[in-house]
Structure 1
């Protein structure tokens, strides 16, 4: 009886110990799970941080490469922009039925490839003395004129229209002079007259781009002295620009009184301040090939103001154009030491005239003197 009673007392004790052991094991298991989960979470955070640092490093390396290649990329983009602009211009020209023609003739040139510049000297019927003074000073004649075209790619022609009385003595005199000199571009469809210079410019550019394929088309009056060599050098510095409008840029008062010299009948279009937009002086300016073609194609719808220089400026103002203000295109012969100053610094004047005279004062007698002075 005694042994049986002892066994009964030990059974609960063993059961209690077993329960305690199980409880401890369960707690240890839970702790192990929490520890393992915590380590896994930390590992995930570390991996995420490492991936972030790796991505950041890759971006930095990519940025460094972009800096190293930035200039080349910019050059490529600029080239692509120029090509796209030229393609648009060609497409627009073709849509208008525009074609470049280079017909042969006594006054055409045999230069191979694109010309550097076509220089048009605006003249009128009674200005033979002015033309002769230019031929004796800065403009080559005869074989030398052909040599300039063949070797330098520079064409120079006097620009004149026809008389209102077609075939009269004025037309005959121009024809006779041209037969001797072969240095005219006669605008058969333009009638010479006062206040028609803007229209003459349309005909000049339309005819010039039809006859000659050149980088630049330059207009100059027949009472302006020109240094051809310096003109060529200056234009060459702007060859890489797609659309160039170069001249002595100015702006000023719009004259609204009929008795004023530069009266503008449409003065009210320029606003209450009556001030012109920036444009090149009319004595001499140049347009790059694309702009000359633009004027030729759209001449029928381009508005003509009373003054030619304002008209040309208005045609350019709404376009994506480089306005080049070149002060050597407006040297004054009456400003003491101006020509000498430019020559001293190694940049001789390109064009010489006197604003107070609208051209070179007494140009017939003084044109040759400018050759030595400027």
Structure 2
């Protein structure tokens, strides 16, 4: 029940008036209200990601009794999709929804808060954020840019990408043109592939016309929506390059600090709620989408060979060290992440690993 409705239905207002009698009631100070704008990096109507940002805004409105409203703009409607970080940092708008690894050009340390190759899955990240130093390090880094970050959504496990040529050896990667952003792209470059950067809107046509030989996107539910199953022959697993994909809601620091404590708590509660909802949606909808891809029988779902994965793992460790060496804060984040993951793996090796090995 909303706060104002509770006061009305409980009769508190009437009782107070009767008790006061002829004594004049004290003036009630109206609480301030806040109207914010949010920009995103997603196309209008994009399921789970853009719609998740919109549902987050709606939930904030409901939980705050309308004291904090957020108007959401899809990528390109107010600022370019990749302009969200700077727009909020500079105070043009109050918040954005995106993925931290897009901002490697602003600081290499941002990449660790979305996903890293051969890193932790969603559960591991959640533990690092809330029971380790992950969120505190994220806040420390983003404070340099006048920003306050919170996790908001996760894609869960993804897939290893769409290919039009089989990767049955490392030699097969030589000369291939791939669209894999971020850290994975650097790994593929080390392995001998040619990596190109393309916006999401050009991925389908580039794969269809042979401009690129392979790409990843998000996961089966959004890959199927883009139609990548119609223009690729092979769908690879596992997603060594992105075993999860955390997204973020980020607030302008001055705007955030101007809020009273209860509205800051509303933002935290709404972000936590929508993270759980979006994760659940990705998990089940990706399962259904993968089943649909299998049923069509036009795409071969294949695993990377063990020797290829072993090389990817070695090259990934090299890339992470190189990125960490670019800045002391990136080094601090990487070292903490690596130490936390070692603890987490010691537990999951005797729980998750053993369980799923017997489930399949």
Pick the structure with greater CA Rg.
1
Q: TM-score range by the shorter chain?
A: under 0.3
Alignment TM-score, normalising by the size of structure 2: 0.20
Alignment TM-score, normalising by the size of structure 1: 0.20
Which has the higher relative contact order, 1 or 2, with Cα contacts under 8 A spaced 6 or more apart?
Answer: 2
